């Protein structure tokens, strides 16, 4: 046994959620340590210099849902957080394009070019979704009850939600049910007829999931777009200065200033338990750390199957853990460019390159991309969500040069016919993505100085997300709310006393949001206050 | 002009159930059916196993000639490579049959059967209730809610959690948690897609699957019953029961429009101009047709019309009937008892999904999914999906025959007559919007308290005096009599209270 050190709480994983948890606990005066496996902090919200001189948001690349209360509570502005707005979505098409921006008047005129009724519906739809987002937002802060028992204390938190549902105007109640159950495509069909518009809007419903835009249950993610908007911190989407790693570093800085200890290159080998409760962790180095509380921001598979010794959890619980679906479906291609790409449908390097560039020409295109993946093949023509961060944050590359981030779907983790994500498969994926871009922005290949392709397997290995699922578990209906990350254990607690979940695996799930990390910390602090805390 | 208590529009099986049950309560009821005979699409559907016992008993359908044949082998799953698999009404027996396919799956089957019975038992309970008002629960809603809550609690913690997890799942995921053999999985999961716009990998197909087990004996193999004399015998019995109870059943009588007076429905006008007044009008037509075609646009209002237009009713299933000159010989099914239930072409889950994929692009599956029954050993009746709305009828029949012939060589030579109803054909002949055999998609977004849409799930449509009693209402389509029975209860309640 090497040295032994005692903490009030140990946080496994230095991703943004783990860091948020650490900061909140430290703020309450607890002695906490964050243990990060890698040499860099941030988990999936990480900035790295992949090509000399070019810094990339390697995985997660935009921010919209970061909870404003976290920004306030931790004073993240003072710790360097700066969000740069990302204006608009540009959908290149054959000989034409669809370009929506945050300015409603401009977007209205653009949509009218396609369909007058769509232009009018767009306004109404936007208002409706903002209302809806306002209603749904509190759900992100609720601790879900265990649906297996009717325990009044747990269900009481849903009371205000039920009341506000009953008080909703009728059409919003209607929309709420639809948003929770419909496919993104069906939902949008009610308002719009323009195919590229529907395809591009529905794309936000499938990001990170193994679902198609016509799969039921994909509509509700459409709301996310509007949730960012109502919080007022910044509009819709933005990119953090310095990449998404900038968010993590700001939170880490806040946590440290509140007294939290943060250790990198400190991979945890095991969560130690005695008599069914947590006593600490052992690092791969053999070092042992002691604490009465361990909060894991790793996903459920890593936490329960890898870090806990066999025999600690009962079979029923483990069955549920194994049933939990990950099924990573996305890949990331990061390019270092010597100049800006030009799209044949709108030549020049104007404002349209400053926002998101969406390769989503039609609903059928999106759906066929999914069909390929369903049967275990990367999409022959994938959906790509592209941004050029250097246009809003030039410091990320040498002067005059650019970084380009391509989020790619679908690239299924499990390949058909026994194929594996080897170097050849990764190269093929990269070529498919470049071919797809080349069709609309010819000459992109000549601009490439450096390239990084991350397959789902790479994401799993590099960042530690099981099966490369960017949300730490599929955001499908049956894996939300009281079923996340294990049915009946959505209250951030686990069957092991003192072991908590605080990452995207827990409610309300993934995205650069920080909500799970914050609620987990508040729950633990609440329990401590009520005296159920041993130390 | 005549004056009745209740008019039921549409003489399909649900309309007849509503009419019969209301007439038995002493109400003066008339059923108006556009076609020359009653029954609607029930004359097409191969099986009637889910017909509610409470309906059979209340209407004394047996004494009106209904005889249900419940085969011991409920489902025969035809496999590409290997003998067909028999799914018996007795789960133990099915488990024994599965031994030769996959011993591990055989071992899981009885527990799976118990599991799905627990889950679908709760759904059966839900199917009997009138969905509560979600905005403002009535005292009766509270009582019903407490009863449902008690039933939910009775499931036990683990099953209760499992229920909330299972309902929004994909049938493929649900089944694969228990079984590994692809043909077994495909056969079991395909029922979650029957007559729908869902593939086995679509979220919510597990709900459809569990709901399929929710009436009758249910269980993993699904309840199966054939009507002796063919499906028409069911509607004959229902019509006889309604008439015996005092209802008038008028066929060959098309409704022109609903009459709206002072903000409520007061009757109907018929195609010939005749007017019938009534205290209540119950439509067993699909909700879209009811709200958009029968109801005056001004009376309906733009919002209701918009909502009705968005009810998902795209049909993708065709019905194929084949007259045969002899009994087809299915490979590995020498015993006629094996062909007494549902005959399902059972491929792997991905093959079913591929068949479904076609529907997303408005195409017809190259290899469709087929569920068939043999009546009197010489008439084959099949649900074939997924089929393009206006597919060529002959092509659909050829596809179905070709697919079945892989398992029953020589079938084609036996065919002496064929009838094909594509979704467009179904819509033209039977009038359901989109030709959807379930009137409205049974997805998660058109379920329970929001079937067909939120605020109209309590059998009362947007206008006082107008009710929905067909498959578009909770608990949905298929031959159950459930919507008809539940709607009758609500209509009677309103009339007794003088509404």
Give A289-326 as a 3 state SS string: EEEEEEEECCCHHHHHHHHECCCCCCHHHHHHHHHCCC
DSSP string, A307-373: IBPTTSS-HHHHHHHHH------EEEEEEEESS---BTTB-S--GGGSSEEEE---HHHHHHHHHHH
The pLDDT score that the predictor gives to residue A227 is: 73
Tell me which of A533 and A1 has the higher pLDDT: A533
Question: Which of A150, A180, A477 lies closest to B153 in CB terms?
Answer: A150
A511 domain-assigned: yes
Mean pLDDT of A522-528: 95
Mean pLDDT of A148-175: 87
Question: Which of B135, B203, B454 lies closest to A166 in CB terms?
Answer: B135
Sign of the torsion formed by the C-alpha atoms of B226, B229, B233 and B237: negative
Mean pLDDT of A484-504: 96
Per-residue pLDDT reduced to its tens digit, B302-360: 999 999 999 999 999 999 999 999 999 999 999 999 999 999 998 899 999 999 999 99
**Are A293 and A191 in a shared domain?**
no
Omega before A473 within 30 of 0, i.e. cis: no
Assess contact for A210 and A329: CB atoms under 8 A. Answer: yes
How close does chain A come to B395, measured CA to CA in Å? 25
Which of residues A416, A437, A463 is at a domain's end? A463
Question: Which of A323, A371, A488 lies closest to B157 in CB terms?
Answer: A488
**Beta-strand relationship, A288-296 and A277-283:** antiparallel
At A533, the pLDDT band (50, 70, 90 cuts) reads low
CA distance B317 to A347: 47
> DSSP secondary-structure letter at B449?
G
**Are A455 and A394 in a shared domain?**
yes
Nearest-CA residue of chain A relative to B307? A190
Q: Do B203 and A477 touch (CB under 8 A)?
A: yes
Nearest-CA residue of chain A relative to B169? A478
Assess contact for B357 and A371: CB atoms under 8 A. Answer: yes
Picking from A315, A481, A220, A472, the residue whose alpha carbon sits closest to that of residue B164 is A481
Contact with chain A for residue B100, Cβ under 8 A = no
**Are A443 and A516 in a shared domain?**
no
Contact with chain B for residue A114, Cβ under 8 A = no
User: Could you count the other beta carbons within 10 Å of the beta carbon of residue B165?
Assistant: 21
CA distance B81 to A327: 29
A56 domain-assigned: no
A90 domain-assigned: no
Contact with chain A for residue B141, Cβ under 8 A = no
List CB contacts of A306: < 8 A, sequence separation 6 or more.
none
Confidence check: pLDDT of A150 > 80: no
Q: How far is CA B408 from the centre of its chain?
A: 28
Confidence check: pLDDT of A2 > 50: no
Q: Which domain holds residue A245?
A: 4-45+66-82+241-325+472-529
In angstroms, the Cα distances linking B128 to A226, B138, B206, B490 are 39, 17, 20, 12
Q: How far is CA A260 from the centre of its chain?
A: 25
The pLDDT score that the predictor gives to residue A86 is: 85
The pLDDT score that the predictor gives to residue A9 is: 98
Confidence check: pLDDT of A236 > 70: no
Q: Domain count of chain A? A: 3
**Are A335 and A457 in a shared domain?**
yes
Nearest-CA residue of chain B relative to A187? B310
CA distance A205 to A213: 7
Q: Do B160 and A147 touch (CB under 8 A)?
A: yes
Contact with chain A for residue B395, Cβ under 8 A = no
**Are A321 and A352 in a shared domain?**
no
How close does chain B come to A206, measured CA to CA in Å? 13
Number of H helices, E strands in chain A: 18, 18
At A517, the pLDDT band (50, 70, 90 cuts) reads very high
**Are A203 and A292 in a shared domain?**
no
**Are A307 and A341 in a shared domain?**
no
Picking from B363, B353, B416, B297, the residue whose alpha carbon sits closest to that of residue B173 is B353
Helix residue ranges, H only, B1-102:
13-24, 53-58, 91-98
The mean-pLDDT minimum among A141-150, B61-70, B317-326 falls in A141-150
The pLDDT score that the predictor gives to residue A455 is: 98
The pLDDT score that the predictor gives to residue A130 is: 86
What share of chain B has pLDDT > 90, as a percent? 94
A425 domain-assigned: yes
The pLDDT score that the predictor gives to residue A234 is: 43
CATH of the domain at A19: 3.50.50.60
Hey, is B234 helix, strand or coil? Answer: helix
List CB contacts of B345: < 8 A, sequence separation 6 or more.
B78, B369, B370, B371, B403, B404, B407
Picking from B301, B311, B399, B410, the residue whose alpha carbon sits closest to that of residue B358 is B399
Sign of the torsion formed by the C-alpha atoms of B219, B221, B222 and B224: negative
Which of residues A463, A495, A510 is at a domain's end? A463
Burial A373-398 (b: 16+ CB within 10 A, else e): bbeebbbebbbbbbbbbbbbbeebbe
Contacts of B136 in chain A (CB under 8 A): 166
Per-residue pLDDT reduced to its tens digit, A220-231: 878 876 776 655
The mean-pLDDT minimum among A49-63, A132-146, A261-275 falls in A132-146
Mean pLDDT of B98-120: 97
Q: How big is the A-B interface in CB pairs under 8 Å?
A: 108
Which of residues A411, A433, A463 is at a domain's end? A463
Question: Which of B134, B198, B350 lies closest to A375 in CB terms?
Answer: B350
Q: Do A482 and B164 touch (CB under 8 A)?
A: yes
Q: Is the ipTM of this complex over 0.85?
A: yes
Write B144-150 long-range contacts (CB < 8 A, 24+): B149/A150
CA distance B361 to B82: 33
CA distance B497 to B489: 12
A492 domain-assigned: yes
**Are A512 and A481 in a shared domain?**
yes
A165 domain-assigned: yes
Contacts of A371 in chain B (CB under 8 A): 357
Confidence check: pLDDT of B284 > 70: yes
Confidence check: pLDDT of A287 > 50: yes
A338 domain-assigned: yes
Picking from A47, A473, A530, A423, the residue whose alpha carbon sits closest to that of residue A248 is A47
Q: Do B303 and A148 touch (CB under 8 A)?
A: no
A442 domain-assigned: yes
How close does chain B come to A367, measured CA to CA in Å? 8
Mutate which of A117, A183, A185, A491 to test chain B, going by most B C-beta atoms within 10 A? Answer: A183
Q: What mean pLDDT value characterizes chain A?
A: 93
Mean pLDDT of A86-92: 92
CA distance B54 to B61: 10
The pLDDT score that the predictor gives to residue A532 is: 61
**Are A458 and A476 in a shared domain?**
no
**Are A173 and A225 in a shared domain?**
yes
The mean-pLDDT minimum among A153-162, A356-365, B285-294, B411-420 falls in A153-162
Assess contact for B475 and B483: CB atoms under 8 A. Answer: yes
**Are A268 and A316 in a shared domain?**
yes
Contacts of A475 in chain B (CB under 8 A): none
User: Could you count the other beta carbons within 10 Å of the beta carbon of residue B97?
Assistant: 18
Segment (H or E) for A263: strand A261-263
List CB contacts of B400: < 8 A, sequence separation 6 or more.
B320, B368, B370, B382, B384
Helix residue ranges, H only, B406-481:
411-414, 423-430
Question: Which of A149, A170, A487 lies closest to B165 in CB terms?
Answer: A487
**Are A395 and A455 in a shared domain?**
yes
The pLDDT score that the predictor gives to residue B1 is: 64
Nearest-CA residue of chain A relative to B454? A174
Q: Do A189 and B310 touch (CB under 8 A)?
A: yes
Contacts of A364 in chain B (CB under 8 A): 360-361
DSSP string, A385-407: EEE-GGGT-GGGSSTT-EEEEEE
**Beta-strand relationship, A261-263 and B68-69:** unpaired
Question: Which of A166, A325, A476 lies closest to B136 in CB terms?
Answer: A166
The pLDDT score that the predictor gives to residue A90 is: 97
Nearest-CA residue of chain B relative to A416? B350
């Amino acid at each position: 046994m090497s040295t032994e050190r005692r903490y009030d709480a140990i946080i496994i994983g230095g991703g943004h959620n783990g860091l948020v948890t650490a900061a909140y606990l430290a703020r309450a005066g607890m002695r906490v340590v964050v243990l990060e496996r890698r040499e860099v902090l941030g988990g999936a919200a990480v900035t790295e210099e992949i090509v000399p001189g070019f810094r990339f948001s390697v995985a997660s690349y935009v921010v919209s849902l970061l909870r404003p209360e976290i920004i306030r509570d931790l004073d993240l502005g003072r710790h360097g957080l700066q969000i740069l707005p990302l204006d608009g979505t540009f959908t290149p098409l054959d000989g034409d394009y669809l370009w929506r921006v945050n300015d409603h008047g401009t977007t209205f005129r653009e949509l009218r070019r396609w369909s007058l009724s769509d232009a009018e519906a767009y306004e109404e739809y936007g208002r409706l979704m903002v209302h809806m987002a306002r209603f749904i937002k509190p759900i992100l802060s609720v601790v879900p009850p265990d649906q297996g028992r009717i325990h009044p204390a747990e269900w009481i938190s849903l009371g205000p939600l039920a009341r506000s549902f009953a008080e909703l105007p009728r059409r919003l109640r209607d929309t709420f049910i639809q948003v929770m159950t419909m496919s993104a495509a069906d939902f949008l069909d009610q308002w719009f007829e323009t195919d590229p518009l529907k395809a591009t809007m529905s794309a936000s419903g499938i990001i990170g999931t193994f679902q198609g835009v016509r799969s039921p249950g994909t509509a509700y993610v459409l709301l996310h777009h509007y949730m960012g908007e109502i919080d007022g911190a910044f509009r819709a989407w933005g990119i953090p200065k310095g990449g998404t790693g900038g968010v993590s570093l700001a939170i880490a800085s806040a946590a440290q200033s509140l007294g939290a200890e943060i250790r990198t290159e400190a991979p945890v080998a095991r969560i130690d338990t005695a008599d069914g409760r947590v006593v600490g962790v052992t690092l791969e180095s053999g070092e042992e750390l002691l604490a009465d509380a361990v909060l894991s921001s790793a996903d459920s598979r890593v936490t329960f199957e890898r870090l806990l010794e066999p025999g600690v959890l009962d079979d029923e619980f483990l069955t549920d853990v194994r049933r939990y679906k990950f099924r990573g479906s996305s890949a990331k291609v990061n390019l270092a460019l010597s100049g800006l790409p030009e799209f044949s449908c709108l030549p020049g390097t104007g404002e349209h390159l400053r926002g998101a560039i969406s390769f989503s020409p039609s609903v059928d295109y999106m759906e066929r991309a999914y069909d390929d993946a369903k049967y275990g093949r990367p999409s022959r023509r994938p959906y790509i969500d592209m941004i050029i961060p250097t246009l809003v944050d030039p410091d990320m590359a040498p002067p005059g040069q650019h970084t380009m981030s391509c989020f790619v779907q679908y690239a299924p983790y499990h390949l058909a016919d026994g194929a594996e994500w080897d170097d050849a498969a990764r190269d093929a994926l990269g070529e498919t993505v470049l071919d797809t871009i080349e069709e609309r922005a010819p000459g992109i290949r000549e601009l490439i100085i450096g390239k990084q392709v991350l397959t789902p397997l790479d994401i799993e290995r590099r960042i530690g997300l099981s099966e490369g699922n960017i949300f730490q578990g599929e955001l499908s209906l049956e894996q939300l709310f009281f079923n996340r990350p294990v049915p009946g254990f959505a209250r951030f607690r686990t069957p092991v006393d003192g072991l908590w979940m605080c990452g995207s695996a827990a409610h309300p799930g993934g995205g650069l949001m920080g909500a799970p990390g914050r609620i987990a910390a508040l729950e633990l602090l609440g329990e401590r206050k009520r005296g159920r805390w041993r130390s | 002009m005549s004056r009745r208590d209740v008019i039921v529009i549409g003489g399909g099986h649900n309309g007849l159930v509503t009419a019969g049950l209301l007439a038995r309560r002493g109400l003066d009821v008339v059923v108006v059916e556009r076609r020359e005979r009653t029954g609607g699409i029930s004359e097409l559907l191969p099986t009637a196993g889910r017909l509610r016992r409470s309906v059979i008993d209340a209407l004394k359908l047996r004494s009106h000639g209904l005889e249900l044949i419940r085969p011991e082998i409920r489902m025969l799953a035809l496999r590409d490579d290997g003998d067909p698999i028999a799914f018996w009404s007795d789960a133990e027996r099915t488990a024994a049959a599965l031994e030769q396919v996959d011993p591990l799956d055989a071992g899981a089957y009885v527990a799976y059967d118990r599991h799905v019975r627990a889950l679908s038992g709760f759904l059966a309970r839900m199917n009997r209730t009138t969905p509560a008002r979600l905005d403002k629960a009535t005292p009766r809603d509270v009582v019903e809610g407490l009863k449902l809550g008690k039933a939910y609690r009775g499931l036990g913690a683990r099953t209760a959690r499992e229920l909330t997890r299972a309902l929004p799942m994909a049938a493929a995921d649900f089944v694969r948690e228990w079984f590994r053999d692809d043909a077994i999985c495909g056969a079991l999961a395909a029922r979650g897609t029957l007559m729908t716009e869902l593939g086995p990998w679509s979220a919510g197909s597990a709900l459809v699957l569990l709901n399929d087990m929710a009436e009758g004996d249910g269980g993993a193999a699904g309840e199966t019953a054939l009507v002796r004399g063919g499906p028409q015998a069911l509607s004959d019995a229902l019509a006889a029961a309604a008439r015996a109870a005092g209802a008038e059943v008028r066929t060959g009588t098309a409704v022109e429009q609903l009459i709206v007076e002072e903000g409520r429905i007061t009757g109907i006008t018929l195609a010939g101009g005749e007017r019938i007044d009534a205290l209540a009008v119950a439509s067993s037509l699909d909700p879209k047709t009811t709200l958009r075609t029968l109801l005056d646009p001004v009376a309906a209002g733009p919002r209701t019309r918009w909502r009705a237009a968005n009810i998902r009713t795209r049909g993708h299933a065709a019905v194929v009937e084949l007259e045969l000159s002899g009994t087809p010989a299915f490979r590995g099914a020498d015993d006629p008892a094996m062909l007494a239930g549902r005959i399902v072409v059972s491929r792997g889950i991905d093959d079913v999904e591929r068949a479904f994929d076609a529907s997303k692009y408005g195409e017809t599956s190259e290899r469709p999914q087929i569920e068939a029954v043999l009546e009197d050993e010489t008439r084959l009746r099949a649900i074939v999906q997924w089929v393009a709305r206006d597919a060529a009828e002959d092509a659909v029949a050829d596809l179905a025959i070709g697919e079945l012939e892989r398992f029953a060589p020589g079938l084609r030579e036996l065919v002496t007559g064929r009838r094909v109803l594509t979704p467009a054909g179904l819509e033209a002949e039977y009038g359901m919007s989109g030709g959807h055999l379930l009137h409205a998609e049974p997805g998660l977004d058109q379920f329970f308290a929001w079937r067909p849409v939120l605020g109209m799930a309590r059998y009362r449509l947007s206008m006082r005096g107008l009710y929905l009693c067909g498959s578009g209402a909770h608990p949905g389509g298929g031959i159950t009599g459930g919507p008809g029975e539940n709607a009758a209860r609500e209509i009677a309640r309103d009339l007794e209270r003088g509404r």
